[in-house]
Amino acid sequence: MSVTMNRLLALVYVVTRGQEKMGAVGHTLVQKLFYLLQAGKKVPLGYKFRLYHYGPYCHELWGDLNVLEEYGYLSIKTKSNGFGYEITATDTGRAAVEENRDVEADLQDQVQELLELLGGEPVRKLEALATTHYVCNDWGEKGVNASKEQVIASVLNLKPHLHRSEVEVALTTLEEKGLNR
């Protein structure tokens, strides 16, 4: 299966399993889960994430969600309060997940693990976790083994509205879950 097909199926899978767990998933959850799936779990999905307002973001992933809605696999609705989106799988999307349930069993396990970690968490926590990972990853790509203090300072410089304790918790969580470095 091609990388593009694999990631489209993974998107439908994430939304389907997230919907089972939480009723619907939001755009921020999908972005942060896919960022950690690719950058933390090293699943080659081909997305290019950039640091954005709520942490790592990929415009192409948002485009893929819209393509899946266009073809009837997902439904994307603006939340009633006007802030954010509720993304759900359609019957067609759920059927596609069932038809391909044997594909990438390892991917499914990794998605489940990340849904357990991220599902139902406030956007602020998702932002802290993904941004902290992004900073650690950026230091690593530059060949720098940054200290905990350097990482915290970098994250707080980028996201001054976050508290030091939130970044410390994010670092600990990333290390405990094997998502860092």
pLDDT at 62 over 90: yes
- Let me know: does 84 contact 97? Beta carbons within 8 Å: no
Read off the pLDDT of each residue in 131-149 and give the average, rounded to a whole number.
92
Token pair in block for residue 34? 């896919």
pLDDT of residue 80: 83
pLDDT of residue 4: 66
Residues 102 and 38: their CA atoms lie apart, in Å, by 20
Q: What is the pTM of this model?
A: 0.92
pLDDT at 1 over 60: no
Per-residue pLDDT band at 150 (split at 50, 70, 90): very high
**β-bridge pairing 85-89 and 74-78:** antiparallel
Q: E strands along 50-168, which residues?
A: 50-52, 55-57, 74-78, 85-89
pLDDT tens, 2-59?
666 778 888 999 999 889 888 879 999 999 999 999 999 998 899 999 999 889 999 9
**Triad 82, 85, 87: Cα angle to 5°:** 150
pLDDT tens, 88-138?
999 999 999 888 876 667 788 898 999 999 988 888 999 999 999 999 999
Three-state SS for 52? Answer: strand
